[in-house]
């Protein structure tokens, strides 16, 4: 079947046989310093490297506000054109989000593809999505990004340039792509995802029925989340030194010292200014974090500015509705940056410093997770009739029994139980309190 949307999606994958040559553009706005913009461009450089392209030049400009036509000033845009010719660049990538009109004007003036950070991130996600749900989520985000950018006319100009990151959309493929059909596709993907989401919910429910607490590993991309999951559970998840290696969550059972086991999930990494459409599309996969009892927030101690990464992660957590889930900060890669890890540790009470590679600090991490899980599990008192041995057995299986006593009406049990178990056993619950006894 000739499906322009599939082509649109497939064609955003990076052609790995040639490495595109890219010029990066950053704008230093009021209240921001040059260093900050430099760091952001360094990260953008790593992003385009992950996408399969090379930085061949960089341009920055100080401005009060973006120029409505070109984002940078017109003079600077001509300077950018010169630079592109000099370094033989294929594509220009702006660190800031470009409006569709700015993108169009820039491409016309430069005679080459102009895209923004969002397009690069979408492109990397398109390369790394493997499951049905992951692929549908990325496709949806891509189509939402492309829809307002579809233009007639630009296709001819662009097709002479050849393909490039983010440039191979429907608008560029000489195909008469009509918005209506893209909108239909968006509607279909939204429906499919809703369906997949419901399935995931069901799986989540059966997990909840297992009565185990759930813990999710969250954090900035490349912080070492998958390495930690592998170290703790031998999950065999792909962990590599590239951004967004993980898009699909993996869950494994983790035994805690002297406590009940928990379910531990790895999640997609976050990055500064993660495209909103992408967060929106990934809400279902990220729901595992929202529904967790505890978040292990893994921080890369070797990062230039770990605090700003922590901040970026908090922003995304807020956005997906996980802002109020209890969090345990874990400073990883302590083997590479022991001083930073120590500093962060002393500044954040209750945190742990580890190395997911050497195993240093892991015992303390497990102890801390156990403590935190006990502290947040709820202590309930149940009164179970004598003929309901099955209920007594399930309390023992699903929670931690603190004490039992025989009363006239039945067995009185005090136990720490997860929310799911409490919900299921609600008819026997006579009182409950949060935290320790």
Ligand X SMILES: Nc1nc2c(ncn2[C@@H]2O[C@H](COP(=O)(O)OP(=O)(O)OP(=O)(O)O)[C@@H](O)[C@H]2O)c(=O)[nH]1
What residues make contact with ligand X under the rule CB under 6 A?
A: 219, 221-227, 239-241, 243-246, 269, 332-333, 335-336, 355-357
| Dihedral sign (CA 206, 210, 211, 214) | negative
CB atoms within 10 A of CB 411: 19
Which partner, Mg ion, ligand X, none, binds residue 340 by CB below 5 to 8 Å per kind? none
- Residue 221 binds: one of Mg ion, ligand X, none (C-beta under 5 to 8 A by kind): ligand X
Using the rule CB under 5 A, which residue among 245, 278, 286, 291 binds Mg ion?
A: 245
User: For Mg ion, which residue of 45, 113, 246, 332 counts as binding (CB under 5 A)?
Assistant: 246
Q: Which of residues 194-233 bind Mg ion (CB under 5 A)?
A: 225-226
What is the Cα–Cα distance from 21 to 90, expressed in whole angstroms?
Answer: 5
Contacted entry of Mg ion, ligand X, none for residue 243, CB cut-off 5 to 8 Å set by kind: ligand X
Q: CB of residue 112 vs ligand X: minimum separation in angstroms?
A: 29
Could you tell which of ligand X, Mg ion, none binds residue 222, using a CB distance below 5 to 8 A set by kind? ligand X
Q: What are the φ/ψ torsions at residue 266 (nearest 5 degrees)?
A: -90, 150
Structural contact between residues 80 and 92, judged by C-beta atoms closer than 8 angstroms: yes
Q: Which residue is nearest to Mg ion (CB)?
A: 246
DSSP of 395-430 = HHHHSEEEEEEE-SSSEEEEEEE-HHHHHHTGGGEE
Half-sphere exposure of 149 (CA within 13 A, CB side): 27
Q: Is 355 in the site for Mg ion (CB under 5 A)?
A: no
Q: From the list ligand X, Mg ion, none, which binds 244 (C-beta under 5 to 8 Å, kind-based)?
A: ligand X
Cβ at position 298, least distance to Mg ion in Å: 10
CB of 117 to ligand X, least distance (A): 16
Least distance in angstroms from the C-beta of 311 to ligand X: 17
Query: Which residue, judged by CB position, is nearest to ligand X in the bound state?
Result: 269
Smallest gap, in angstroms, from Cβ of residue 27 to ligand X?
27
CB of 94 to ligand X, least distance (A): 23
Q: Which residue has the tokens 């967790």?
A: 292
Task: List helix spans (H) across 111-258.
Answer: 117-128, 132-146, 154-159, 179-209, 225-233
- The tokens for 62 are 């100080």
- β 213-219/262-266 pair status: parallel
Residues in the site for Mg ion, rule: CB under 5 A? 225-226, 245-246
């Amino acid at each position: 079947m000739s499906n322009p949307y599939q082509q649109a999606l497939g064609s955003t994958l990076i052609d790995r046989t040639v490495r595109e040559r890219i010029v990066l553009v950053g704008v230093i706005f009021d209240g921001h310093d040059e260093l900050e913009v430099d760091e952001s461009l360094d990260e953008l450089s790593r992003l385009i490297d992950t996408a399969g392209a090379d930085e061949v030049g960089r341009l920055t400009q100080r401005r009060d506000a973006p120029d409505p036509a070109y984002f940078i000033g017109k003079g600077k845009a001509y300077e950018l054109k010169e630079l592109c010719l000099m370094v033989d660049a294929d594509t220009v990538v702006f660190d800031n989000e470009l409006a569709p009109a700015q993108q169009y004007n820039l491409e016309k003036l430069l005679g080459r593809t102009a895209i923004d950070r969002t397009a690069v991130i979408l492109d990397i996600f398109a390369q790394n999505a493997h499951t049905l749900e992951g692929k549908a989520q990325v496709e949806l985000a891509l189509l939402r990004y492309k829809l307002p950018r579809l233009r007639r006319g630009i296709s001819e100009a662009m097709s002479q340039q050849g393909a490039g990151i983010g440039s191979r959309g429907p608008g560029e493929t000489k195909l008469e792509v009509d918005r209506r059909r893209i909108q239909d596709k968006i509607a279909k993907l939204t429906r499919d995802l809703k369906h997949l989401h419901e399935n995931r919910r069901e799986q989540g429910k059966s997990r909840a029925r297992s009565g185990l607490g759930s813990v999710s590993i969250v954090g900035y991309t490349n912080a070492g989340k998958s390495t930690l999951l592998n170290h703790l559970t031998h999950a065999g998840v792909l962990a590599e030194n590239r951004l967004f290696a993980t898009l699909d969550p993996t869950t494994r059972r983790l035994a805690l010292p002297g406590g009940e086991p928990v379910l531990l999930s790895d999640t997609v990494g976050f990055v500064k200014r993660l495209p909103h459409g992408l967060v929106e599309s990934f809400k279902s996969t990220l729901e595992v974090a929202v529904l967790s009892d505890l978040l292990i927030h893994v921080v890369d101690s070797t990062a230039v500015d770990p605090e700003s990464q922590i901040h970026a992660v908090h922003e995304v957590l807020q956005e997906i509705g996980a802002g109020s889930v209890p969090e345990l900060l874990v400073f990883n890669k302590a083997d590479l940056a022991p001083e930073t890890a120590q500093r962060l540790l002393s500044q954040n009470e209750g945190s742990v410093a580890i190395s997911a590679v050497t195993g240093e600090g892991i015992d303390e991490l497990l102890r801390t997770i156990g403590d935190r899980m006990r502290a947040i599990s709820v202590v309930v008192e149940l009164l179970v009739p004598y003929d309901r041995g099955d209920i007594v057995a399930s309390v023992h299986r699903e929670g931690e029994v603190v004490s039992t006593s025989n009363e006239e009406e039945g067995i009185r049990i005090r136990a720490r139980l997860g929310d799911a178990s409490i919900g299921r056993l609600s008819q026997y619950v006579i009182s409950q309190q949060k935290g320790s006894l």
